[in-house]
Amino acid sequence: MKKPAFLIPLAMALIVARAAAGASASADAAGVRAAENLWSEAFITGDTATLEGLLDPHYISTGATGKPRSKDQIIALANAYAKAHPGEHAKPLPPTSTIRVIGNAAVVQHQNPGDTSVDVFYFRDGRWHAWYSQHTKISD
The answer, as to whether pTM is greater than 0.95, is no
Q: What is the mean pLDDT of residues 103-129?
A: 95
9 part of a folded domain: no
- pLDDT value of residue 19: 41
Element housing 122 (H / E) = strand 115-124
pLDDT higher than threshold 90 for residue 139: no
> At 8, is the pLDDT very low, low, confident or very high (cuts 50, 70, 90)?
very low
58 part of a folded domain: yes
Q: How many domains does one find in the chain?
A: 1
User: How many angstroms separate the most distant Cα atoms in the chain?
Assistant: 58
Angle between helices 29-45 and 7-23 (to 10 degrees): 140
102 part of a folded domain: yes
Give the C-alpha separation, 32 to 131, whole Å: 13
Residues facing 133 on adjacent strands: 61, 119
Please give the residue range of the domain that contains residue 66: 29-137
pLDDT higher than threshold 50 for residue 122: yes
108 part of a folded domain: yes
> What Cα–Cα distance (Å) separates residue 66 from each residue in 63, 78, 84?
5, 20, 25
Mark out the alpha helices in the chain (DSSP H runs).
7-23, 29-45, 48-54, 71-84
Mean pLDDT of the chain: 85
16 part of a folded domain: no
- Selected residue with higher pLDDT from 113 and 105: 105
- pLDDT value of residue 46: 97
* Other Cβ atoms closer than 10 A to 133: 22
CATH code for the domain of 41:
3.10.450.50
75 part of a folded domain: yes
DSSP tag of 4: P
14 part of a folded domain: no
Residue whose C-alpha is closest to residue 93's, from 21, 43, 132: 43
110 part of a folded domain: yes
Q: What is the pLDDT of residues 42-97, one digit of tens each?
A: 999 999 999 999 999 999 999 999 999 999 999 999 999 999 999 999 998 888 89
